[in-house]
Structure 1
Amino acid sequence: MPKDMITTEKDLPRTRAPLLRKPEATDGAAIWDLVRACKPLDENSMYANLIQADHFRDTCVLAELDDEVVGWISGHMIPQQDAFFVWQVAVGEQARGLGLGKKMLKELISRDVARDACELKTTITKDNDASWGLFRSFARDIGGDLDDEPHFTRDEHFDGAHATEHMVTIALPTRAGTLRRAA
């Protein structure tokens, strides 16, 4: 067989969808590695990712493809609010273009822990085009309105060391559970 006709496994089209699941504490290091590889995300300590995976597992989602962590969203319900806050979204290079970010967001807001959420909130710097694209697309898909305003400002909150973070708010359908039935 001619050398240029040899097909390797990496040349074959990907047919399996990533597995979405709640993280375990043992996923902390892999999550940390993924976040570090997904610039421009702010890196937390490995310990912070371990705590998220352990203490906040119900409000976080991990995506695996061939037993490799390829996606991660950390989040939580905001205390005293009917709002689900998304802290970080990370999709590894090998899983980009699969719509994985939106799938993970839909998974999270369909969980019982988010049943009282009327809004999804996140913060995004103005120059993070990938995040803006993801959340605008997510809002369109669920029929929610997206608003934003400066929230954590460069000078007031970050002492000039970080760009202003805009609070993005997406109105969720009547109840997050609506997405569970529609999905």
Structure 2
Amino acid sequence: MTAAQAELQIDRPSLADGAALWRIARDSKTLDLNSSYSYLLWCRDFAATTVVARDEDGRPVGFVTGYVRPDRPHTLLVWQVAVDETHRGRGLAGTMLDGLAARTAAELGVTTVETTITPGNTASERLFASFAERHGARLEREVLFGTDLFPDGPHEPEVLHRIGPLAR
């Protein structure tokens, strides 16, 4: 852990964090921005499967949202990963992902992590490939949602990345 990471606290989100998560996602300019309402719901209903990174003043500077798949109770689907611009380049996304995986493995029995990534998003591809390597897990990829499934205009395919079983 770097000195910059040590200054940060990684924990569960509170309802009061919803607006900050929405702002971080909006300011990323790369994520599909959900409604502000949805970030409030994430902080209320999916706090057990979400992490937020806070700076020394307690302000959110990054988050990972996720949920346990209802039909695969040992699989955590990571929905979004975002880091505020002022905290990028320090390994915070990987630290948050590791922390969330450890917590959900211990509390919920998660053994597999899934996420979707659009082609060409090399930062996310590197993040999840290095996560798989750190956890001694296989990484499998397949197109989950083709472009033809999106009703709201051109959208790149979403490629499912399945990582598991997690060894450590």
Q: TM-score, with normalisation over the residues of structure 2?
A: 0.89
SS of the residue 1:146 aligns to? strand
**SS in structure 2 of the partner of residue 111 of structure 1:** helix
Residue in structure 2 matching 1:141, options 115, 134, 137:
134
Matches within 5 A, 1:85-100: 85-100=77-92
SS at 2:109's partner residue?
A: coil
The amino acid of 2:162's aligned partner reads T
Matching of residue 166 in structure 1 with residue 159 in structure 2? yes
**1:117-136 residue pairs with structure 2 within 5 A?**
117-136=110-129
1:80 positional shift: 2.0
Aligned residue runs from structure 1 range 32-111, under 5 A: 32-67=22-57, 68-81=59-72, 82-111=74-103
Point out where structure 1 has 5 or more consecutive residues left out of the alignment: 1-12
Please name the residue that 1:29 is paired with. Answer: 19
Deviating 4+ runs (over 4 angstroms)? 13-16
Which residue identity does 2:98 align to in structure 1?
Answer: K
The runs of 5 or more residues in structure 2 that have no matched partner are none
Q: Percent of aligned positions with the same letter in both sequences?
A: 37
Counterpart secondary structure, 1:162: coil
Q: Distance in 1 between matches of 2:4 and 2:30?
A: 26
In 2, the alpha carbon distance for the partners of 1:16 and 1:90 equals: 18
Task: Output one character per residue of 1:124-171: Cα deviation in whole Å (capped at 9) or x when no partner.
Answer: 000211111110111111111111111111113446421100000011
Aligned length: 163
- For the residue of structure 2 that corresponds to 1:155, the secondary structure is helix
Partners of 1:170 and 1:14 lie apart in 2 by 28
Cα separation, partners in 2 of 1:158 and 1:129, compared to 1, 3 Å: farther
Q: Is the 8 A contact 1:154 1:164 kept in 2?
A: yes
* C-alpha displacement of 1:101: 1.0
Q: 2:7 touches 2:55 (CA, 8 Å); kept in 1?
A: yes
TM-score by length of 1: 0.82
Counterpart code for 1:148: R
Find the aligned partners of 1:16 and 1:142 in 2 and give their Cα distance: 21
Q: 1:20 aligns with which of 6, 10, 19?
A: 10
String of CA shifts for 1:58-116, please: whole Å, max 9, x gaps: 10000011332111110010012121100000011111122111111111111156542
